[in-house]
């Protein structure tokens, strides 16, 4: 049988059967896989082939022939253009099913686990209006108007927003009005192609429980005329605004924040309540974007660990102590390990603020600090960045043999890879994997895996 040759630009019909971990619909045609953005399992669609490979192709949706029962009208009027969300056209119940499947498939295909114990996804309390932080690139329209938003899917074209349905609604007035203030001041928007101009990004942050806010402009250098005057105006206009900051990023880079932040008016932090404790959060602090779901996952961790008060707990990749401090209240001693000195400084402050004195924090790479512990912890919490754990961390844990490990991950592919190594030769057993939805309307899923000897 001669295999049909696909041509770029060709129209084909496809039925979507699954979703990829990047959020695209996945279908099959002529014994090959087709990835199609903006589609839902159950859709029958006419698609145009865009990038053709021998065994698969990427295509663009041209016409919906029969919509999936899981398809809904997006809440956002620019959802079909904006790259901030991938799944606003999918009903929320099915988003949760898809995310659970994503975890199961990673555990099976990458981890090699048979029938992994993956629970239903811990659902968000609200699928909209949840983000406690939004950072928008800035641009200019063809008529010279200041714009802020997200880039169009698959392009570098800015989609201008005056409000965003997934960010905390209390931030929406600032998004619309700050653009007007930048326009009025005549501040130049950064042009990344020519490395000219001044303001690169607008970052807004809010304490979900306290309502306190931060406004940060990411700039190429510190020379922003009349910023002090404008900062005072913002503080007067927005009663919950605690501080206005500048972050300097003078490099030609895709990174948003630079290394140095200055407070122009107010204070350089907001206060937030998390799990009954008070935390200080700065403009560039890592703090989970969905506060309430993070608290719910913490409750699952506390319940599953069943701490008795005599344990030594190590929280690797501890950040500002978001997990360390609530868990420290339930153990004999807690130790946090973190490579970023600024985060450790905040963690120490947060411990003192909450009068938690059985916790210490160490600055350094986890793969270097963990082997030097000098004692064996009963419990280890792992919450690494997307790239997962360094191989030396996995090897050290297999040597130390803590009785319980909790691995919290924002990328299930690296989670499955590392769990496979930890469970090699049957040393550790996975008792439960709890996915959690920290990013409704997107393909991202968080998961906590629980391991015992």
Task: Give the pLDDT confidence of 111-144 residue by residue, as tens digits.
Answer: 999 999 999 999 999 999 999 999 999 999 999 9
Residues 159-165: contacts with CB within 8 Å, 24+ apart? 159/78, 159/81, 159/82, 159/83, 161/78, 161/82, 161/136, 164/76, 164/84, 164/131, 164/134, 165/75, 165/76, 165/128, 165/129
Q: Quick one: how far is CA 266 from the chain centroid? A: 28
Q: What is the pLDDT of residue 154?
A: 75
Residue 195 backbone phi and psi in degrees, to 5: 60, 40
Q: What is the pLDDT of residue 218?
A: 98
The model scores a pTM over 0.85: yes
Which residues have C-beta within 8 Å of that of residue 121, sequence separation ≥ 6? 96, 99, 100, 435, 436, 437, 445
Q: What is the pLDDT of residue 2?
A: 60
Low-confidence residues of the chain, pLDDT below 70? 1-3
CB burial class (10 A; 0-12, 13-18, 19+) of residue 224?
A: buried
The set of catalytic residues is 410
Q: What is the pLDDT of residue 81?
A: 86
Structure tokens at 325: 């401090």
Q: What is the pLDDT of residue 155?
A: 80
CA distance 253 to 41: 37
């Amino acid at each position: 049988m001669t295999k049909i040759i696909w041509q770029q630009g060709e129209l084909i019909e496809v039925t979507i059967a699954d979703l990829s971990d990047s959020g695209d619909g996945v279908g099959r045609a002529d014994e090959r896989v087709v990835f199609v953005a903006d589609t839902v399992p159950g859709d029958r669609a006419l698609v145009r082939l865009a990038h053709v490979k021998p065994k698969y192709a990427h295509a663009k949706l041209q016409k919906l022939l029969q919509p999936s029962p899981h398809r809904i009208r997006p809440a956002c009027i620019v959802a079909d253009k904006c790259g901030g969300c991938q799944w606003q056209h999918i009903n929320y119940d099915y988003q949760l099913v898809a995310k659970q499947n994503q975890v199961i498939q990673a555990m099976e295909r990458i981890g090699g686990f048979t029938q992994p114990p993956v629970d239903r996804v811990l659902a968000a309390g609200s699928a909209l209006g949840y983000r406690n932080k939004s950072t928008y690139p800035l641009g200019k329209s063809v008529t010279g108007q200041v714009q802020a938003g997200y880039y169009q899917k698959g392009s570098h074209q800015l989609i201008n927003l005056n409000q965003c349905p997934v960010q905390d609604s209390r931030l929406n007035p600032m998004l619309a009005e700050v653009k007007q203030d930048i326009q009025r001041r005549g501040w130049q928007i950064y042009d990344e192609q020519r490395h000219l101009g001044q303001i690169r990004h607008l970052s807004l942050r809010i304490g979900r429980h306290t309502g306190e806010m931060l406004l940060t402009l990411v700039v190429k250098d510190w020379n922003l005329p009349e910023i002090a005057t404008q900062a005072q105006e913002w503080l007067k206009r927005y009663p919950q605004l605690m501080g206005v900051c500048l972050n300097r990023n003078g490099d030609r880079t895709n990174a948003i924040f630079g290394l140095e932040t200055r407070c122009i008016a107010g204070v350089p932090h907001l206060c937030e309540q998390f799990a009954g404790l008070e935390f200080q959060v700065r403009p560039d602090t890592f703090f989970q974007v969905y506060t309430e779901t993070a608290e719910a996952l913490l409750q699952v961790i506390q319940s599953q660990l069943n701490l008795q008060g005599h344990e030594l707990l190590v929280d690797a990749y501890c950040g500002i102590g978001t997990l360390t401090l609530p868990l420290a209240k339930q153990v004999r001693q807690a130790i946090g390990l973190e490579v970023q000195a600024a985060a450790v400084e905040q963690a120490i402050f947060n411990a003192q603020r909450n009068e938690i004195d059985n916790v210490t924090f160490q600055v350094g790479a986890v793969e270097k600090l963990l082997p030097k512990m000098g004692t064996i912890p009963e419990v280890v919490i792992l919450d690494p960045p997307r790239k997962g754990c360094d191989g030396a961390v996995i090897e050290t844990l297999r040597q130390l043999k803590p009785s319980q490990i909790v691995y919290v991950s924002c990328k299930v592919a690296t989670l499955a890879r590392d769990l496979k190594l930890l469970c090699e030769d049957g040393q550790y057993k996975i008792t439960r994997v709890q996915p959690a939805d920290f990013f409704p309307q997107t393909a991202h899923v968080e998961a906590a895996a629980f391991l015992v000897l």
